[in-house]
Structure formats: structure tokens, C-alpha cells
Structure 1
Amino acid sequence: MVRIGPDDWREFRAVRLAALADAPGAFGARHSEWADATEERWRRRLTDVPFTVVARGVDGPVGVVSGVASGESGESVELISMWVAPGERGTGLAGRLIALVVDWARDGGRRTGLMVRDDNLGAIRAYTRAGFVDHGVPDDWPATEPAERRMWHEGTPARPRP
């Protein structure tokens, strides 16, 4: 696993497009919104989101996760864009990726939160194993949008860092 930045935009593009194609309902973005994105847009995403880690397999990237400061004054970190390739699911890779974001947040004195689709049971299980607690769907969640649950990390990562 390696932390990447703007110069790694090609690798990020490959894993992000794979994630958006594999799990279109799990992300706020759509594959069609990014498929023809310019190099500048990919680089900007990796600049605007300061913590992105890619898990590399033999044939290329097999997982990704990002963290970004959130809250009014950046007092917390939002875990975003989490994805593990289907062939890597069940290997503990998700837990290792999650732990990297939690540790990055903790190193900055911040807690980690995330939003996850209510119907994404595999992701909810992975986050729960990693120490996240489900706080339910926010009361003000729009009725016209698929429900998303708020989860906050309230323990130590379930899996050790690599």
C-alpha cells in the first residue's frame, strides 16, 4: 500500500474508474462523470483530498481509500472513496486501508467519521470490525436520496497496519 499524490494521477484514475464501474451505487460520483476527466481534474482531486492510499496487486491497483478534513474547522476526518477489488474482498485489505485513514486522523488529533449506504452491508461490516459505531441515518437526510448511515470510529483499528 502506498500513499499517492497528484503525480500519481494515472494510477488513481485506474483504481477510481474500476471502483466506480464495480460499485456505482456506493459513491457520490458516477463513472460517466470521471471517464473523460482531464489530467488536471485528476491531479486536483489528489490535491484537494490530502490523504489517498492505493493498494497494489500483481496486475495493478486493487484497493483505494481517502481521507479529508471535515467539520467547520477540520476537527475530524471523513473517510471517503473506499473500495476493494472483488478478488481481494475477505482478505483483510479493507481493514488495513481503513486503519491507515484512522491512524492518519489520530496522528493529527482528529476522529474519523464516514457515511455509508444503508444497503451496503459488506462495507458496514468492515467498518464495524475496524472500530466504527453506527449512528444511524441522520434525521435531516433527504427522503429522495438513498439512505446513508453515519458512522464514527470509537475504538482502535481491528487490523494492524502493514
Structure 2
Amino acid sequence: MIDIRPIGPDDWKAWRELRLAALQEAAFAFGSQYADWADAPEERWRQRLSEPGAYQVIASIDGTPAGMAGGFPHDNEAELVSMWVAPEGRGKGVGNALMQAIENWARTIGVTALKLSVVPGNDPAHNLYLRHGYVDTDELGDLMPDGVRRELVMRKPL
């Protein structure tokens, strides 16, 4: 059974464990790098989970952490960030559950759209987002750590 649990600053250790695992396992998929966070002090982790208006969740399967995602409000839209599903959670509905949790949160805060960024070539994530109704945009995403590739920006009206 997949359980989705909202988290806050007091859950920083659980989020840290997942975030570091994500940055190691799928370094190509994130703008941040493992070295940016590996030695971060507790306060930095707590601060990331204390952003005003943000909503962050951890997914677990039978009590074992299996993924994470976050949502941040920006004017009339929100942004889905830091989404990652652990290898042992892939193909079991964890990605769908995380997407649904963020989409439900976004609707409750009254935004009109959700946007996200995905790395070109990350086909499993891109396909998940397409299945959830996101479409590619012409917006330029942020530069990736290699300074060459840019993220693809996708958007979904709510």
C-alpha cells in the first residue's frame, strides 16, 4: 500500500535521506548536485521544508520510503519540484500517487496551473507527466549543472 505523508521541518532527517539518495541515484535529473547538499547543516534542511506556502510529501510503500515531491506556489500557478521515485518504488504507482498529491494541493490553494521542469532524455518522468496531462512548452528551463543542457518546462491547467 502506498502512503503519502505531508512533511515539514521536523521531518528533515527523512527528507534528507530521500533527497541525498535521489541526488546520487539520478544525478542527471536534478539541477542540484549531491555535493551541494551532502554536508548541509540541519538548518538548511529545515529551511527547505519551511518555505512559506510550500507543500512537500514523502511516499512510502508498506512503511519504507519510496519517493518524494514538493509544490511551491508562484502567483496564479504552482511548481512541482524535487520529484523522485526510488528504484524499488518504480512501476508500483508511487509516481502517480505523488503527482496526485501535488495536484490536489495545488487545487486547494486555488492556482490555475501547475508547471514543472524535466531533463531532456528522462523519458520515464516525461511520459509520467504527459499521462497526467502536462504539455511541453516553449519556455526555456534552467541550465543544468553541465552548463549546456536546459530543462524542459511543462505545464498543466487545473
Pick the TM interval, shorter chain. Answer: 0.7 to 0.9
Aligned letter for 1:32? A
**Aligned pairs for 1:118-157 within 5 A:** 118-136=120-138, 138=139, 144-154=147-157
Structure 2: distance between partners of 1:109 and 1:148: 26
Structure 2: distance between partners of 1:140 and 1:32: 22
Structure 2: which 5+ runs fail to align?
none
Contact 1:14 1:61 (C-alpha < 8 Å) held by counterparts: no
Residue of structure 2 equivalent to 1:40: 43
Aligned letter for 1:47? S
1:66 maps onto 2:66 in alignment: no
Q: Is the partner of 2:10 in helix, strand or coil?
A: helix
Structure 1: which 5+ runs fail to align?
156-162
TM-score, structure 1 length as denominator? 0.85
Deviations 1:87-110 (A, max 9, x none): 211112101101111111111111
Q: Which has the higher contact order (CA 8 A, sep 6+)?
A: 2
Structure 1: distance between partners of 2:95 and 2:9: 23
Cα drift, residue 60 of structure 1: 3.3
**Aligned pairs for 1:41-56 within 5 A:** 41-48=44-51, 50-56=54-60
Structure 2: distance between partners of 1:133 and 1:92: 21
Contact 1:46 1:52 (C-alpha < 8 Å) held by counterparts: yes
Q: Is the partner of 1:48 in helix, strand or coil?
A: coil
Structure ranking higher in strand proportion: 2
Q: Tell me the matched-pair count.
A: 151
TM-score, structure 2 length as denominator? 0.87
Q: Percent identity?
A: 39
Cα drift, residue 139 of structure 1: 5.2
Aligned letter for 2:130? T
**Aligned pairs for 1:86-125 within 5 A:** 86-110=87-111, 111-125=113-127
1:28 maps onto 2:27 in alignment: no
Contact 1:133 1:154 (C-alpha < 8 Å) held by counterparts: no
Residue of structure 1 equivalent to 2:10: 7
Q: Is the partner of 1:128 in helix, strand or coil?
A: helix
Cα drift, residue 57 of structure 1: 3.2
Aligned letter for 2:132? A
Structure 1: distance between partners of 2:20 and 2:91: 21
